[in-house]
């Protein structure tokens, strides 16, 4: 396989996973307003922006930082 084939295959995989993420979000129920990690209330502004939010801003930031580190360092 050459670089163009690999790039096209990767784009296909990314598009498929993005589509699954969007479809998965449409099937979920709106948030309860309670963070799934710390059990604190989710900020009203956050719920207005994303009614399906499962985590408060602080827990979401922490989860994003951990995911970013995992992508950078690879699976552990």
The confidence score (pLDDT) of residue 27 equals 60
- 39 neighbors 56 (Cβ within 8 angstroms): no
Q: Tell me what the mean pLDDT of segment 23-36 comes to.
A: 80
Q: Are 60 and 53 a contacting pair, CB within 8 Å? A: yes
H-helix or E-strand spanning residue 28 = none
Whether this model's pTM surpasses 0.75: no
Per-residue pLDDT of 56-71, as tens digits, reads 999 999 999 998 888 8
Spatial separation of the C-alpha atoms in residues 36 and 18, rounded to whole Å = 23
For residue 27, what is the enclosing H or E element? Answer: none
> What three-state secondary structure class fits 35?
coil
The pLDDT score that the predictor gives to residue 64 is 93
Residue 41 near residue 34, CB atoms below 8 Å? yes
């Amino acid at each position: 396989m050459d670089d163009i084939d690999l790039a096209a295959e990767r784009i296909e995989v990314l598009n498929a996973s993005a589509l699954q993420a969007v479809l998965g979000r449409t099937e979920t129920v709106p948030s309860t307003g309670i963070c799934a990690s710390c059990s604190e209330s989710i900020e009203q502004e956050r719920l207005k922006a994303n009614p399906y939010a499962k985590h408060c801003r602080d827990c979401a930031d922490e989860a994003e930082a951990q995911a970013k580190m995992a992508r950078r360092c690879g699976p552990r």
